[in-house]
Amino acid sequence: MISFINRKRLTADINVDSISRIAQILDENGIKYYQHKTTDNMILPTNITLQRSTNLPVPERKKKIYIYIIYVRRCDYKKAKELLLLI
């Protein structure tokens, strides 16, 4: 079982395909993992100076960005990290 105490963050990415590939590699090698999805409500990078100088409206809605995080057990972290280096 992976609990809050014995887990370590392996990777975080916004690309779901990349996270799926990492999860598949962990499954193939028998490494248990916990996957977490969170949102970071932020505006995508824009040039604030350009907005001020041209009087462009600031976006009213913020675009949701999903961040996918994979945690593994601390005892499996070294092996999992080595597998990621082979990708």
Q: Which residues pair with 72 in a beta bridge?
A: 8, 33
C-alpha–C-alpha distance, residues 87 and 77, integer Å? 16
pLDDT in tens, 2-43: 677 889 999 998 899 999 999 999 999 999 999 999 876 544
Half-sphere exposure of 28 (CA within 13 A, CB side): 8
Domains, the chain, with CATH or none: 7-85 (3.30.70.1370)
Both tokens of residue 51?
A: 């907005």
Res. 58 pLDDT band, cuts 50 70 90: low
Query: What's the pTM?
Result: 0.72
Question: CA angle, corner 78, sides to 35 and 5, nearest 5?
Answer: 55
Question: CA angle, corner 80, sides to 11 and 4, nearest 5?
Answer: 60
